[in-house]
Amino acid sequence: MKIKANVESDIAEILEIDQSTGVRKIPKPWLIAVILAALLVVIILIFWIGSSSSSAVRYKTEEVKQGNLTVIVTATGTLKPTNKVDVGSELSGIIKSVKVDYNDRVKRGQILATLDTSKLEAQVKQSKAALESAQAKVLQTQATIAETRTKLAQLKKVRELSNGKVPSQSDMDAAQAALERALADDAAAKADVTQAQAVLDANKTDFYKAVIRSPINGIVLARNVESGQTVAASFETPILFTLAEDLKKMELHVNVDEADVGHIQEGQMATFTVSAYANRIFDAKIIQARYDSSTTSGVVTYETVLKVDNSDLTLRPGMTATADITVKKIENVILIPNAALRFTPPVQEEEKPSAGLVGSLLPRPPGSASQQGKNAIANKKEQNVWILESGQLSAVSITVGSTDGSMTEVLEGDIQPGMMVVVDTVSSVK
For residue 299, the domain's CATH number is 2.40.30.170
- In a domain, residue 190? The reply is yes
Whether 121 is in a domain gets the answer yes
Cα distances from 207 to residues 90, 91, 95, 123, in angstroms, run: 11, 9, 14, 9
Same domain, 324 and 221: no
Q: Tell me whether residue 236 is in a domain.
A: no
Same-domain check for residues 300 and 391: no
DSSP 24: B
The helix/strand/coil state of 258 is coil
Domain final position from 295, 330, 365: 330
Q: Are residues 21 and 153 in the same domain?
A: no
Same domain, 227 and 92: yes
Q: 49 has which bridge partners?
A: none
409 domain residue, yes or no: yes
Closest CA to 359 of 34, 38, 40: 40
144 and 175 co-located in one domain: yes
DSSP assignment letter at 262:
G
Q: What is the span of the domain harbouring residue 358?
A: 58-66+335-427
- Same domain, yes or no, for 93 and 224? yes
Same-domain status, 184 and 151: yes
Residues 108 and 202 grouped into a single domain: yes
As a whole number of angstroms, the distance between CA 99 and CA 101 comes to 7
Q: Compute the distance between CA of residue 240 and CA of residue 208 in angstroms, rounded to an integer.
A: 17
Which of 336, 340, 338 lies closest to 423, judged by CA?
340
- Count how many residues are written for the chain: 430
Q: Which residues of 38-65 are buried (b: 16+ CB within 10 A; e: fewer)?
A: eeeeeeeeeeeeeeeeeeeeebebeebe
Is 169 found in the same domain as 99? yes
pLDDT at 391: 80
Cβ(90)–Cβ(213) below 8 Å: no
Boundary (domain end) residue, out of 330, 352, 377: 330
Per the CB < 8 A criterion, the answer to whether 327 and 72 are in contact is yes
d(CA 211, CA 93): 12
Query: Is 238 inside a domain boundary?
Result: no
Give the C-alpha separation, 180 to 178, whole Å.
Answer: 5
Could you tell me if residue 366 is inside a domain? Answer: yes
| 239 domain-assigned | no
Amino acid at 364: R
DSSP secondary structure string, 264-301?
A: --TT-EEEEEETTEEEEEEEEEEEEEEEEEEEETTEEE
At 3 the pLDDT is 45
Cβ neighbour number for residue 287 with a 10 Å cutoff: 14
Which residue ranges in the chain fall short of pLDDT 70? 1-28, 30, 46-56, 348-382, 427-430
What confidence score (pLDDT) does residue 28 get? Answer: 59
pLDDT of residue 367: 44
pLDDT at position 220: 94
Question: How many structural domains does the chain have?
Answer: 4
Based on the fold, state whether residues 6 and 96 are members of the same structural domain: no
Q: Are residues 67 and 307 in contact, defined by beta-carbon separation less than 8 angstroms?
A: no
CATH code at 183?
1.10.287
| In a shared domain, residues 225 and 258 | no
Q: Looking at residue 370, which CATH number applies to its domain?
A: 2.40.420.20
Task: Evaluate whether residue 42 is within a structural domain.
Answer: yes
Tell the burial category of 87 from Cβ atoms under 10 Å away from its Cβ (0-12, 13-18, 19+): buried
At residue 207, the 3 state secondary structure works out as: helix
DSSP readout, 88-115?
E-SS-EEEEEE---TT-EE-TT-EEEEE
* Kind of pairing between the strands at 84-88 and 392-403: unpaired
Residue 225 CB neighbour total at 10 angstroms: 20
Residue pair 91/113 in contact by the 8 Å Cβ criterion: no
Whether residues 270 and 221 fall in one domain: no
- Boundary residue ending a domain (231, 263, 293): 231
Which contiguous run of DSSP H or E holds residue 372? helix 371-378
Q: Where are the alpha helices (DSSP H) in 286-427?
A: 338-342, 356-361, 371-378
Are 257 and 299 in contact by the 8 Å Cβ rule? The answer is yes
Do the Cβ atoms of 334 and 403 come closer than 8 Å? no
